[in-house]
Structure 1
Amino acid sequence: METPILNTINSPADLKKLALPELTQLAAEVRTLLLNKVSQTGGHVGPNLGVVELTIAFHTIFNSPIDKVVWDVSHQSYTHKILTGRKQAWLDPAHYDDVSGYTAPEESPHDFFNIGHTSTSIALATGMAVARDLQHQTGNVMAVIGDGSLSGGLALEGLNTAATLSSNLIILVNDNGVSIAEDHGGLYGNLKLLRDTNGQAETNLFKAMGLDYRYVADGNDLATMLAAFKTIKDIDHPIVLHVHTEKGHGYAPAIANKEAFHWHVPFDLKTGETLAPKTGESYNDVIHTTLENELTEQKTPLTAITAAVPGIYELKRFGRRHPERYFDVGIAEQESISFAAGQAQQGLRPIVFHSGTFLQRAYDQLSHDLGINQLPVTIMVAGGSISAGDPTHQGTFDIAMLSNIPGLTYLAPTTKEELAAMMHWALHQNQGPVAIRVPGNGVHSAPLANFEPARMLTIHAGQKVALLGVGSLLPLAEQTQQALLAHDIDATVIDPRNLSTLDTTTLASLSANHQLVVTLEEASLSGGFGEKVARYYGNTAVHVLSFGAAKRFNDRETSAELWHEAKLTPEQLVSEITKQF
């Protein structure tokens, strides 16, 4: 039996001893290893399969970490990690969680940044190149960018700065023809033109910006990539190396369905089928039903806008039915908000669909373009939860971010009926922008007599203790209420609904027969809903206990661990509450 080449690879230096046939065998071994792990754990499948050869070629020709590579998003850095001393995290299931899914300086000197958001690599690399030169150091600096990341404004800002430098800088554009889903925007039309003309088209974005340019037609061919890197190593000026690769290369299901395999939950390796598909009604179903009702019954002039994450909301369902009203602006969160602002100013009712962790990239547009101008744009916010896949994808900062923008109303539904009612209200009010925090738990249902955005909803009227459960934590408030009965406490349960403006009428009424108010939020306590409530009661006899996430970047803790730390279990809450009496 042939001895695996990977057994001999413990650092990039080991690659330099291998001939092309051995490197080719190594590529096959790495691809098998990648698929074996991600099929069990989930992860970024297509992006990593597409860069196996160029990563091996980089570490064969260059001398990392003296030669530095910055991976944009770094969701395609699995092969890089395997080759830089971390292969055990792919070889041994007991060590699968030893490394993150993104580059992490605390793991290895070959990593320079924690990166999980897009369009950053070129700007970071320009800074590294300047630091190298001013400190009279040597070495190449390379930024690898792809998967639609060039449409992010920061990527273009980085290119703009790169063109002003006069020393080594390599910008590798990993062009696989897609983003997370399809590419959107004129920029990608030029990339296609360059692919179709083998890099010879007169219209060339990169040359127009003053950058040197070379094209590689087959970035999944090791010999080609080795030759390309040899040619540009130690180059004395900035250059764009435009490399055409295939996303999902080597695995048929990932090639056939690039969007689904950009990131995938655990799947059957032979068939590509999801191992535990979701069943039953989802909040996405509620959203789509509401959209259709608004268009067909209410005649609302709505549009649906996303910034390259249609899969989160299954937005292509809407796009297929109403293509003229569906817009994917690509990885350009700022554009999505200002684009919506322009539509709203001219009488449309746009809904922008976002993940909270990506929406923060458009903070100024939320405040400046929407808040100040009081434009009636609706923003759906997904991913609001206490979790810790990596420090860059955090779902706990949205309440502090959005609820404190003047003029913006941030709503937190607890049931599918509330979600539909909030969407309807948002689409027909004229007070300003409205964001809606889509619950992250399973679909809950309860009769809804009416919806008043400025009023909290009392679910159960008790005394002594009031439990305010925000959005997905209302069920926890109800469970805690039941558990408190064993301690002779019949607590009030309240659905706050509005995270931006307190219902002071309801809060004031609680003062008559409640000594303790407890707030529960699946978000950072710092700047969150609980702080607002505590501030309101600050000069009164009512005591406030707030439970939620710590202000920090979580990294690879389990959700159960984080919830326990935050004391967000009925048993812990009962213990903390009964201590007060």
Structure 2
Amino acid sequence: MESQYKLLSQIDSPDDVKKLSLQQLVELSAELRQFIIDVVSENPGHFASSLGVVELTVALHYVYNTPYDRIVWDVGHQAYGHKILTGRRDVFHTNRKYKGISGFPKRAESPYDAFGVGHSSTSISAALGMSVASKLKLENRNIVAVIGDGALTGGMAFEALNHGGSINPNMLVILNDNNISIDPSVGALKEYLLDITTSKTYNKLKDEVWDILGRIDRLAPKTRSVIQKIENAVKSALLKQSNLFESMGFRYFGPVDGHDVVYLAKILKDLKDIPGPKLLHIVTVKGKGYSPAENNQTVFHAPGLFDKETGERIKDSSGKPTPPKYQDVFGETLVELAEKNPKIVGITPAMATGCSLNIMINKMPDRAFDVGIAEQHAVTFSAGLAAEGLIPFCNIYSTFMQRAYDQVIHDVALQNLPVIFCLDRGGLVGDDGATHHGAYDLAYMRSVPNMTVSAPMNEEELRNLMYTAQLELKGPISIRYPRGIGVMVDWRKPFQKVEIGKGRVLRTGSDIAILTIGHVGNLASVAADRLEADGVGVFHADMRFVKPLDEELLTRVGKEFKTVITVEDGCLPGGFGSAVLEWFNDNGYSVKVVRLGIPDVFVEHGTQKELYAECGFDIDNIYKTAKKYASSKAKLRVG
């Protein structure tokens, strides 16, 4: 460590960073960048985002007195350097691993993590709250929010700017502008920022007047006010438009080179002395310093294992055919359906590659829309499309759909509009952890009137549900599926209509009934094989729908079994098992319902297999539970 990272090996906290000279910050930045490359190439995680803010991270901890001063990172993909400099260097290799450190800032993990994040566009609101709290408590904390241009497309960021500019908080917003979130940034804001960063006249004049205007706060209040008005007028004239941030009450500084650590440190030190709301616009390159990441920023957002020397991603070398990812089945199937049905359109909030809507965007750019990080808008935009007779497939990660719940109820379900919600990453997602698990959609969607709630057990079922939805539905439906690969190599089957509210009986044993929803039905099938080898007859039904439930199937189960096991990759309170339990109770069946699923806790990170086991619905736990409750007439093998 000491031979390869001469400075970084000596950094155990930001206090050690402050001991360095300005020129040593350049060397520290180089070592920090190389350390991230070395570790993440062997321990997969988010990558290019942290490389892009190495210099900013070093400058922030050099200038500010953290953790007393607060640094709030937006989303947190870019906070690896921050973690390494704040005492987690030696455990950084456990990042995103089971029982290791989190891949995102987390208050419970370190006092340097001022605010827990994972979702986008929250930093300015949180920092504003901290700034107001500091003022009310008569403290003198510096509050900094770091937000990317992609995250700035989220409406919540503008709500915070609007509020902040009106109450004059002492805070700094750093806009990290690299023209990309995961996929390239979209929308009018992107073009506005591009105008600022490419205006040569504006930038030349900005450099010349920086020293004068940067010191206006030492002048008398009336003089300061006059110069600020002159400054705003000059900026507006050169850009041929008013400065968005100035109009919202934030003094704008920039744009500046986000990879010049010495200059950044000087600017941040100057800005500490200027009171009120300020915004520093820095321009960076996502993946900076590692050419494969710079040249392929979307792939290297989270590349998995890769060869750090060549940049080549390391994939399974077994040579065996593998099932596709569910997201790719969605993307390919949507294009197939859209080619046959001109009314179909696709919508996603800034996850085009993540959900594979990019396939349709590339083939049918006029019918597929990336609306930016704006889940609420995505849902109501879809509602508007549906109101005019189109068939919107709105693809949102389950965890992000939580941000648009009011729009689902008020703008879609209340008007019974046929919006097809395809909820990617339903259930436990693995190493992204608690902020990203899609634990709640089965529960929160089944409580909404007019909503049909479904989950396919495999790729063929996903295709058929999508096919049926665009043919049959008169109201909204959610179709949820998990992160990762499915179970079928030969998945591109001819489309078949699915009867809404009807499940599939997969086994007809008489000792124990197992009812499943979604992909975890495959785990139950393997457990059932083991049970039947032990002489336990298993009745297994893939219910397909949480709402409406297959009442005919449940009536059969209620009459034939005393104990029913339900399995779901979703929260137990209010979920699929609760729906089954409620139905048996409401219809007079004395059936013991044993529910397996995600308990009433926030589950941390780990592989999906590890988390299924922790939550008690992996193959072994399904097998043990069914064996425990099987009828006494079953021929159980001793031991």
- Equivalent in the alignment of 1:336: 378
- Over the residues paired in the alignment, what is the CA RMSD in angstroms? 2.3
Q: CA deviation at 1:105?
A: 1.7
Residue deviations 1:244-285 (CA, integer Å, cap 9, x gap): 111111010111011111222121112222212696442344
- Equivalent in the alignment of 1:568: 617
- Equivalent in the alignment of 2:363: 321
The answer to whether structure 1 residue 443 and structure 2 residue 487 are counterparts is yes
Bigger CA drift: 407-416 or 26-35?
Answer: 407-416
- Equivalent in the alignment of 1:168: 170
Pairing 1:156-235 to 2, within 5 Å after superposition: 156-197=158-199, 198=203, 200=235, 201=239, 202-235=241-274
* 113 and 223 in structure 1: CA distance in 2 versus 1, 3 angstrom threshold: same
Pairing 1:137-152 to 2, within 5 Å after superposition: 137-152=139-154
In 2, Cα distance between equivalents of 1:68 and 1:425: 51
- Equivalent in the alignment of 2:230: none
Residue deviations 1:275-296 (CA, integer Å, cap 9, x gap): 1269644234433443233233
Q: 3-state SS of the aligned residue for 2:167? A: coil
* 139 and 378 in structure 1: CA distance in 2 versus 1, 3 angstrom threshold: same
Q: 3-state SS of the aligned residue for 1:402? A: helix
- Equivalent in the alignment of 2:595: 546
Q: 3-state SS of the aligned residue for 1:455? A: coil
Q: Supply the AA of the counterpart residue of 1:321.
A: K
- Equivalent in the alignment of 2:413: 371
Q: Percent of aligned positions with the same letter in both sequences?
A: 37
Q: CA deviation at 1:3?
A: 6.8
Bigger CA drift: 567-576 or 202-211?
Answer: 567-576
Q: Is the 1:139–1:234 Cα contact (8 Å) retained in structure 2?
A: no
In 1, Cα distance between equivalents of 2:94 and 2:602: 27
Q: Is the 2:383–2:419 Cα contact (8 Å) retained in structure 1?
A: yes
Q: Is the 2:328–2:356 Cα contact (8 Å) retained in structure 1?
A: no
Q: Supply the AA of the counterpart residue of 1:468.
A: L
Q: CA deviation at 1:357?
A: 1.3
- Equivalent in the alignment of 2:125: 123
The answer to whether structure 1 residue 393 and structure 2 residue 432 are counterparts is no
Q: 3-state SS of the aligned residue for 2:293? A: helix
Q: Is the 2:467–2:496 Cα contact (8 Å) retained in structure 1?
A: no
In 2, Cα distance between equivalents of 1:343 and 1:94: 39
Bigger CA drift: 561-570 or 515-524?
Answer: 561-570
Residue deviations 1:167-194 (CA, integer Å, cap 9, x gap): 4110111111112111111112111111
- Pairing partner for 2:569 from 522, 525, 536: 522
* 477 and 187 in structure 1: CA distance in 2 versus 1, 3 angstrom threshold: same
- Equivalent in the alignment of 2:512: 465
Q: 3-state SS of the aligned residue for 1:112? A: coil
Q: Is the 2:43–2:95 Cα contact (8 Å) retained in structure 1?
A: no
Q: CA deviation at 1:479?
A: 2.1
In 2, Cα distance between equivalents of 1:163 and 1:251: 38
In 2, Cα distance between equivalents of 1:2 and 1:485: 57
Q: Supply the AA of the counterpart residue of 1:361.
A: R
Bigger CA drift: 6-15 or 169-178?
Answer: 6-15
Q: CA deviation at 1:122?
A: 0.2
Q: 3-state SS of the aligned residue for 2:547? A: coil
Residue deviations 1:122-142 (CA, integer Å, cap 9, x gap): 000111011000110112111
In structure 2, list runs of 5 or more residues that go unmatched. Answer: 207-234, 632-639
* 151 and 93 in structure 1: CA distance in 2 versus 1, 3 angstrom threshold: closer
The answer to whether structure 1 residue 241 and structure 2 residue 280 are counterparts is yes
Bigger CA drift: 439-448 or 537-546?
Answer: 439-448
- Equivalent in the alignment of 2:157: 155
Q: Is the 2:123–2:145 Cα contact (8 Å) retained in structure 1?
A: yes
In 2, Cα distance between equivalents of 1:318 and 1:164: 42
Q: Supply the AA of the counterpart residue of 2:76.
A: S
Q: CA deviation at 1:557?
A: 4.1
Q: Is the 1:461–1:491 Cα contact (8 Å) retained in structure 2?
A: yes
Q: Is the 2:464–2:498 Cα contact (8 Å) retained in structure 1?
A: yes
Q: 3-state SS of the aligned residue for 1:323? A: coil
Q: Supply the AA of the counterpart residue of 2:250.
A: L
- Equivalent in the alignment of 2:604: 555
Q: Is the 2:97–2:607 Cα contact (8 Å) retained in structure 1?
A: no
Q: CA deviation at 1:466?
A: 1.6
- Equivalent in the alignment of 1:102: 104
Q: CA deviation at 1:530?
A: 0.5
Q: CA deviation at 1:399?
A: 1.1
Q: Supply the AA of the counterpart residue of 1:233.
A: K
Q: CA deviation at 1:74?
A: 1.6
In 2, Cα distance between equivalents of 1:449 and 1:232: 63
Task: Please tell me whether Structure 1 or Structure 2 has the larger radius of gyration of its CA atoms.
Answer: 2
Q: 3-state SS of the aligned residue for 2:45? A: coil
In 2, Cα distance between equivalents of 1:96 and 1:281: 25
In 1, Cα distance between equivalents of 2:60 and 2:110: 17
Residue deviations 1:457-506 (CA, integer Å, cap 9, x gap): 11222324221121111122222322222444322111101112211121
Q: What TM-score does the superposition give when structure 2 sets the normalisation length? A: 0.86
* 449 and 339 in structure 1: CA distance in 2 versus 1, 3 angstrom threshold: closer
Q: 3-state SS of the aligned residue for 1:512? A: helix
Q: What TM-score does the superposition give when structure 1 sets the normalisation length? A: 0.95
The answer to whether structure 1 residue 490 and structure 2 residue 532 are counterparts is no
Bigger CA drift: 398-407 or 564-573?
Answer: 564-573
Q: 3-state SS of the aligned residue for 1:391? A: coil
Q: CA deviation at 1:514?
A: 1.9
Pairing 1:251-266 to 2, within 5 Å after superposition: 251-266=290-305
- Pairing partner for 2:499 from 445, 452, 456: 452
- Equivalent in the alignment of 1:270: 309
In 2, Cα distance between equivalents of 1:558 and 1:180: 22
* 82 and 289 in structure 1: CA distance in 2 versus 1, 3 angstrom threshold: closer
Q: Give the aligned length.
A: 580
- Pairing partner for 2:579 from 508, 532, 538: 532
Bigger CA drift: 460-469 or 59-68?
Answer: 460-469
In 2, Cα distance between equivalents of 1:189 and 1:460: 57
The answer to whether structure 1 residue 345 and structure 2 residue 392 are counterparts is no
Q: Is the 1:467–1:491 Cα contact (8 Å) retained in structure 2?
A: yes
Q: Is the 1:88–1:95 Cα contact (8 Å) retained in structure 2?
A: no
